[in-house]
Amino acid sequence: MEAEDPLVGGRCGSFRLVRRLGRGGMGSVYLGEHVSIGSRVAVKVLHAHLTMYPELVQRFHAEARAVNLIGHENIVSIFDMDATPPRPYLIMELLDGAPLSAWVGTPLAASAVVSVLAQVCDALQAAHSRGIVHRDLKPDNIFVSRRKRGAPFVKVLDFGIAKLGDAQMPQTHAGIIVGTPEYMAPEQSLGRGVDGRADLYALGVIAYQLLTGRLPFTDEGMTAQLVAHQLRTPPPLRSVNPSVAAPLEHVILRALAKKPEDRYPSIQAFRHALQIAVAEEGQGMARKENPALRGAPSALKPIARGRPQVGSREEAVAGSQVVPSPRRPAQAPAPRASLVELPVQVVLRPGENPVRLVGSGLSRGGLFLQGGHILPPLCARLPLVLELESGPLSVLCEVVRLVPPAQARVWGMPTGFGVQFVEATAVLKAAVDAVLQKGTPVQSPQSRPAVEDPAVARTLEAWRRRSAGDAYAVLALAPDADMGTVRLRTREAWRSLEVLERKPLTPPQRAEVDALRIRVREAAEALGATVQRALYDAWRGNHRGVAKCLEAGLTAEQLESLRREFLARRPQAMGSARAHFQSGGALEREGHLSQALEQYERGLKLAPLEVDMLQRYRRLRRVLGGRSPAGAGHERARSP
């Protein structure tokens, strides 16, 4: 695999890249060897597809600047950098050891954990004292190096998204979240201002994971993790690993407080509290309470025997999630039929406290929330927590149906609103199946017909044909529909499904309607905004749709950014497209407008985001009066 990496064997400055050591979200790290004196370093190279975004290149500057400002022994040193194209890179010290993520998944001795965390605290305290907040602290960014003598030595890595003083890092449209959801403080995921207490929260999550062998929240999916950290209290450490001492549990849970002011005032105060908690309990008492740890050394290195090194956050999280909690069965018991109506916590307005409502009509697609004095807006996205017998489950939902009091009286049903799940993860599906396996939702005889209604069957068949196509087919749109028509057809699709949902449906039909809701939502997200639609059209060669996005306000800067992203993924497209464009230009100069228009169209199907050719194509169509190319083959071009 390493031999296939095109960068291996190449040079970055005076260093030859020998082999790749690891790969992350923003770049790859290589072993570099000086071509003259043979000294070895680590070379971090930005991914090729990200070099087109100036704000990401600025993050390389930010990382080097932050590390240089701090200058602490527990932070990896950066010797040199080059932010110029084609490949920005950093030259860093080469570390011998493994990331802390190599040891997550099994509980570690408290003394070993605190020994490592104390060094991380020292590094962060040095950063915070200079106004620098890391903002992406996680086990992958904490490296445990080996030395000839003494305890493991810690190096904190990756200050690439650090907050420098009052300066905010530039935002990116490359799809990279600023931070890692499993370790992100609530105020950070909510977009509020952060200070050193956000790093303290992340370190509390890491401490929880090292001491218990699992994350505080094992929900699957990015949004579920964010919602859990915002709304739910983590299970006590001792409920997961009884060997954790009560004083240490108290320290960790305080670090995980939702409000920053409820945590420790500084990272150094947290460090001091950790050491006091371990000293009070004593190493001997810890071994006595947990026989499984007897004879285990305090250093981390022996504990890691037989465990593979983890090379990415996804692998680290997956590795920790497959270890079930000792207090939770591997498969949740089937709940009673009465749990088909289940309690739900939901945040109806951003920044407000969650309210408790009753959920009914649960399916894999969503559920109906009964009651509540305030109904949220249609299409609003709400975080909620399903309180299941197997444990609380955080999900993100979208409001797809409103039943105000007047309609509720007419239909003979409770006031409330229907939501569909934004991310139907495997964990969520399994939880819903477990609820429905023992007791299906209570339905009236009218909602459970013995035979299918022929009219409903015909409507579903028409929807089935639509949903088999692309987003345009789902919303019954022409490829060159304007943005106003897109919004109109989206509303019509939602209303059509709402009408269908009120009809007597068999269980398979109801499940099909749930699936159709997801398809309509996906189509609306793909076509409902100019930037998303332009990129969607580009992948499908639909230059007419791109033109409609330009008419609707897509800026030249946005189009150029999308163009770079498109060509980075399809570098061969431009070569073939350019041949058609050149042929079209020659035909246009000779007056063969129909053939020229045909060549332009072929080129735009390959590279639909070429704005100059889009404008030339549209101008030529106007010259031809909108007629098809075949009917205007010998018209001479007028001067533009």
Q: What is the pLDDT of residues 396-406, one digit of tens each?
A: 888 877 778 87
Are residues 104 and 64 part of one domain?
no
Rounded mean pLDDT of 421-444? 68
* Pair 447, 505: CB distance under 8 Å: yes
Structural domain contains residue 288: yes
Burial class (CB in 10 A: 0-12, 13-18, 19+), 302: exposed
- Here the tokens at position 91 are 């030259």
* Helix-helix angle 530-539:556-569, to 10 degrees: 30
Burial class (CB in 10 A: 0-12, 13-18, 19+), 344: buried
Pairing of strands 97-99, 89-92: unpaired
Handedness of CA 401, 403, 407, 411 (dihedral sign): positive
- pLDDT higher than threshold 70 for residue 84: yes
The SS3 assignment for 597 reads helix
Are residues 273 and 178 part of one domain?
yes
Structural domain contains residue 565: yes
Structural domain contains residue 329: no
- pLDDT higher than threshold 90 for residue 128: no
Q: 106-117, pLDDT tens digit by residue?
A: 899 898 899 899
Q: Which residue has the tokens 């570690």?
A: 108
Q: Of 414, 441, 468, which marks where a domain is finished?
A: 441
Structural domain contains residue 165: yes
Predicted confidence band of residue 153 (pLDDT cuts 50, 70, 90): confident
Rounded mean pLDDT of 422-439? 76
Q: 590-626, pLDDT tens digit by residue?
A: 888 888 888 888 888 888 888 788 878 878 877 887 5
Q: Which residue has the tokens 């790290």?
A: 29
Q: Which amino acid is at 499?
A: V
Q: Residue 344 is inside which H or E element, if any?
A: strand 342-346
- Paired with 99 in beta bridges are 143
> Does residue 537 carry a catalytic annotation?
no
Three-state secondary structure readout of 160-189 = CCCEECCECCCCCCCCCCCCCHHHCCHHHH
Residue 372 pLDDT: 62
Are residues 264 and 407 part of one domain?
no
The number of folded domains in the chain is 5
Are residues 288 and 230 part of one domain?
yes
Q: Residue 23 is inside which H or E element, if any?
A: strand 15-23
Domain that holds residue 552: 533-632
- pLDDT higher than threshold 50 for residue 388: yes
Higher pLDDT: 560 or 447? It is: 560
Indicate the average pLDDT of the chain.
76
Other beta carbons within 10 angstroms of residue 24's beta carbon come to 17
Strands (DSSP E) contained in 203-276 are none
* Highest mean pLDDT pick, 123-127, 437-441, 621-625: 123-127
Predicted confidence band of residue 475 (pLDDT cuts 50, 70, 90): very high
CA-based nearest residue to 505, from 446, 420, 464: 446
Are residues 611 and 543 part of one domain?
yes
- Paired with 155 in beta bridges are 143
Q: Give the CATH number, domain containing residue 546.
A: 1.25.40
* Helix-helix angle 611-623:543-551, to 10 degrees: 90
Q: 294-303, pLDDT tens digit by residue?
A: 333 333 433 3
Q: How far apart are CA 530 and CA 610, in angstroms?
A: 16
Rounded mean pLDDT of 443-463? 68
Predicted confidence band of residue 244 (pLDDT cuts 50, 70, 90): very high
Are residues 207 and 174 part of one domain?
yes
Are residues 25 and 47 part of one domain?
yes
Share of the chain above pLDDT 90, in %: 15
* Pair 41, 32: CB distance under 8 Å: yes
* Active-site residue, selected from the candidate residues 82, 96, 136, 199: 136
Give the alpha-carbon dihedral of 174, 87, 608, 532, to 10 degrees.
Answer: 0
Are residues 124 and 62 part of one domain?
no
Structural domain contains residue 447: no
Are residues 259 and 120 part of one domain?
yes
Q: 516-532, pLDDT tens digit by residue?
A: 877 787 788 788 888 88
Q: Of 512, 528, 544, which marks where a domain is finished?
A: 528
Residue 59 pLDDT: 72
Residue 323 pLDDT: 27
Q: Give the CATH number, domain containing residue 49.
A: 3.30.200.20
Residue 198 pLDDT: 93
Structural domain contains residue 448: no
Distances, alpha carbon 189 to alpha carbons 136, 180, 611, in Å = 12, 9, 36
- pLDDT higher than threshold 80 for residue 237: yes
Q: Give the least confident one: 120-129, 155-164, 281-290.
A: 281-290
Are residues 506 and 572 part of one domain?
no
Q: Of 92, 127, 154, which marks where a domain is finished?
A: 92
Are residues 144 and 36 part of one domain?
no
The SS3 assignment for 26 reads coil
Q: Give the least confident one: 28-37, 203-212, 610-619.
A: 610-619
Higher pLDDT: 364 or 211? It is: 211
- pLDDT higher than threshold 60 for residue 328: no
CA-based nearest residue to 480, from 355, 621, 582: 621
Are residues 352 and 249 part of one domain?
no
Rounded mean pLDDT of 307-314? 31
Predicted confidence band of residue 132 (pLDDT cuts 50, 70, 90): confident
